[in-house]
Structure 1
Amino acid sequence: MKISDQARTAAQDLLDFIDVSPSPWHAVNTVEKQLTTAGFTALNEAHAWQLEAGRSYFVTRGGASIIAFTLGKQALTDTGFRIVGAHTDSPGLRLKPHAAFSGDGLLRIGVEVYGGPILATFTDRDLSIAGRVTVRTPAGHETRLLKFDNALMRLPNLAIHMNREVNDKGLVLNKQTGLPLLFAESEDGVAADRQFLAFIAASLGVDAAEIFTFELNVFDTQKGTFWGANQEFIADSQLDNLASCHAAVTALLAAKNPDSTSVCALFDHEEVGSESATGASGSFLADTINRITANTGLGAEDRLRALAQSFFISADMAHAYHPNHAGAYEPCHHVQVNQGPVIKTNANQRYSTNADTAARFITLCASAGVPYQQYAHRTDLGCGSTIGPIVASSLGVPSVDVGSPMWAMHSIRESAGVLDHGYMIAILGALFNS
């Protein structure tokens, strides 16, 4: 298989993006920097907006969701919006507010399970923490990003001598008692919380008493890599769904003077149901669209006309066929890595795709010279969902669910294809330029 330099560069850019974005807050911060460098103007939801035709803007909410857009050359009532949606969060482990506790000479960190990770994959990895910390300031408080690059924590496996059935029955971790992470040796006479907060405070250059609280998640310090005989695959954490975020932002940045108003919406909390102020079930996207239409002089009737002309692509990763587990897949829907983006269909509307929107996406693929595949889940297995049905139902816009194929979804170390990421960038670019 021949992998072009362009495809390798795009894949390396993705790995670099993930490696500096170990939390949703870091992901949005990374995107903000990219947009600012490209000339996008930052907006504030609390301020009045003054938008100019042909200009590009972005707005954030809650630090972990961001919407970027470029106003198109054509009237919204003629072309509508071209929207790509993805999510910034990934399943994993989040620290509890009072995370640290000690016993048996060791300091351990208590965690909650966020979403549906494959818990066994967190064992015996070089783990660290990243997220945001709220600290007291003379003006009140402010939020600061925190990321430790070095390995801080570990979840060691129980030796096989004490768990003889692990290879036959699999590793089962109790979510309350089996997941606390080993962090340090306890300091005599120092409370666990105080020891941990002092460590956090020192990294921020503040006193521990100035910390109000934090939102921190666990991440794997191993960087992303290429693998395979021809280096045709990639491995990293958070491919689901930072790969889609990266593809969407890359495509938007490449869309110069599009005819249609192009929107890239990246949401938090998809992995836990999207029902939050920063999730896709919240008002963020609708609020942003309403303000765009109001700033461009559209009334309520014209806003509805614009939405009727719009198209939404929900970009989230797809399940690639794993030959060691053939029975887990629908027989006629074996999606292959490095063979193009996947159109995801579910009769019960777990995905938003219908015949018309699938045809529209296939047409875009043809215009971009990109192959495509189609996926349906086994009928006797529960099917996951995406932000596609949520956004489609709230906005009333035609929608299709697509994604790049990958292995080991929700593992701390996921895998995908080099070619597929370039394909996804190309097809999303075709949307923004349609």
Structure 2
Amino acid sequence: MSEPSRFDRGHTDDLMSFLTAGPSPYHAVAATAERLEKAGFRQVAETDAWDGTSGGKYVVRGGAIVAWYVPEGAAAHTPFRIVGAHTDSPNLRVKPLPDSGSHGWRQVAVEIYGGPLLNSWLDRDLGLAGRLTLRDGSTRLVNIDRPLLRVPQLAIHLDRAVSSEGLKLDKQRHLQPVWGLGDDVRDGDLIAFLEQESGLTAGEVTGWDLMVHSVEPPAYLGRDRDLLAGPRMDNLLSVHAAVAALTAVAGPDLPYIPVLAAFDHEENGSQSDTGADGPLLGGVLERSVFARGGSYEDKARAFAGTVCLSSDTGHAVHPNYAERHDPTHHPRINGGPILKVNVNNRYATDGSGRAVFAAACERAGVPFQSFVSNNSMPCGTTIGPITAARHGIRTVDIGVAILSMHSARELCGADDPFLLANTLVAFLEG
């Protein structure tokens, strides 16, 4: 270990606050921007002309944020070191006509976003958060972080086979949350409620992007408090580690330009103007080169020397389902970050990328583990292959091993978040 670790268990304490502050991608971006501002970064608008001055800058677009630090005197062809992550998580999202109900119940109509573990949303106290668009075109964040909604499960007396045959949920009929009583369901009730909660006048909201979230706060778990349970670790854990690392390394002597790219819509394919398959990252990197007086040749040189760590959660070996994992690759909780490999390019890691990651872990004094899927099971994917293919950037897939991925409440090791953050510092410093 070349130097003491910058982050310890206090980093995990701070992660808990970050998870609570990010019930939607828009809130996660706002929390990230707040941390960047405190570290001296300044927001730049995409509609403005950019200058080539040194220092920390960031761009916000909806539920995505890209931040970077230009060292003093950095050449136009200076390569980037990127940590990529995503701000969205699988959940239930409010439909365009949200007011619903029957048989004396008032309900909110929701649609399934991504691939959530549906049963994890049952019988859980849920809040409502997201973005409101106002009549003048501006936006307002809203967060009802108290028990407001609930998706009630059918009692076992009315489904005697549930324990022997498994729970069967119809996505349309069985996942609509209740939020009150009454036979007179009226269009506009939910939005009127949110206008009142947000201090807005009636009829001021004309658009919305809303989603439910568990209001149970993150918590340490276990005899030795060596586990952490909480929502949206996939993938706010990586966003939090990346912004901590970026603000820690920002300084004048960096050989690379460190970058945080936190995208939206990873959970449904990344194909949007704020997703990894959109133009956001490439546009920011190109404009950074050109703002420093660079040419197309400088941009090509910079991209050719750039490396991206695609940081996302992965699967720790499950003690009750060990047969679902590869028999020789068993990532353990608190065993350090994982290197994710798939020869069919569901992950972007290759041998040269492994060497980059291994070197960063060695400099940070952090152990790492390898993950591959069981050959008999399909492998998930990340923003890694998309980033590599879209921008021609060498990309390595890494992350933290967790249990209960895509649950409303996931589980990780209490030490792994700061082990990841220390690794990202070493990677960004080069």
TM norm structure 1? 0.95
Partner of 1:113: 112
**1:78 Cα offset (Å):** 6.6
Deviations 1:353-374 (A, max 9, x none): 0011011111111111000000
2:238 aligned residue (238, 244, 265): 244
**1:141 Cα offset (Å):** 2.5
Alignment of 1:40-55 (within 5 A): 40-53=41-54, 55=55
AA aligned to 2:14 is: D
**1:51 Cα offset (Å):** 2.8
2:307 aligned residue (311, 321, 325): 311
Deviations 1:242-298 (A, max 9, x none): 000000000001013123111000000000000000000000000001100001111
1:345 aligned residue (332, 341, 345): 341
Deviations 1:309-367 (A, max 9, x none): 11110000010001110111010011100001000000110000001101111111111
The 1:44/1:79 distance shift into structure 2, 3 A limit, reads closer
Q: Any conservation in 1 of the 2:84–2:260 contact (CA below 8 Å)? A: yes
Instruction: Name the CA distance, whole Å, in 2 between partners of 1:74 and 1:403.
Output: 32
1:386 aligned residue (372, 376, 382): 382
Q: Any conservation in 2 of the 1:72–1:262 contact (CA below 8 Å)? A: no
Structure 2 gaps of 5+ residues are none
**1:16 Cα offset (Å):** 0.5
1:212 aligned residue (202, 206, 223): 206
Structure 1 gaps of 5+ residues are none
Q: Any conservation in 2 of the 1:77–1:309 contact (CA below 8 Å)? A: no
Instruction: Name the CA distance, whole Å, in 2 between partners of 1:69 and 1:95.
Output: 34
**1:41 Cα offset (Å):** 1.0
AA aligned to 1:281 is: D
SS at match of 1:131: strand
Partner of 1:228: 222
Instruction: Name the CA distance, whole Å, in 1 between partners of 2:41 and 2:6.
Output: 28
Deviations 1:382-429 (A, max 9, x none): 111000011111111111000001000000010001111111000100
Structure 1 residue 423 corresponds to structure 2 residue 419: yes
Partner of 2:195: 201
Alignment of 1:156-305 (within 5 A): 156-186=152-182, 188=184, 191-257=185-251, 258-305=254-301
Instruction: Name the CA distance, whole Å, in 1 between partners of 2:378 and 2:159.
Output: 30
Instruction: Name the CA distance, whole Å, in 2 between partners of 1:285 and 1:323.
Output: 39
Percent of aligned pairs sharing the same letter:
40
Instruction: Name the CA distance, whole Å, in 2 between partners of 1:400 and 1:76.
Output: 25
AA aligned to 1:20 is: A
Q: Any conservation in 2 of the 1:260–1:433 contact (CA below 8 Å)? A: yes
Alignment of 1:3-152 (within 5 A): 7-53=8-54, 55-61=55-61, 63-73=62-72, 75-76=74-75, 79-136=78-135, 140-152=136-148
Aligned-residue RMSD, C-alpha: 1.5
Instruction: Name the CA distance, whole Å, in 2 between partners of 1:226 and 1:51.
Output: 44
AA aligned to 1:88 is: T
Deviations 1:164-183 (A, max 9, x none): 12122222210101111011
SS at match of 1:324: coil
May I ask how many residue pairs the two structures share in their alignment? Answer: 424
Q: Any conservation in 2 of the 1:311–1:397 contact (CA below 8 Å)? A: yes
Q: Any conservation in 1 of the 2:102–2:183 contact (CA below 8 Å)? A: no
Q: Which moved more, 1:4-13 or 1:217-226?
A: 4-13
Q: Which moved more, 1:236-245 or 1:73-82?
A: 73-82
Instruction: Name the CA distance, whole Å, in 2 between partners of 1:387 and 1:404.
Output: 15
Q: Any conservation in 1 of the 2:76–2:289 contact (CA below 8 Å)? A: no
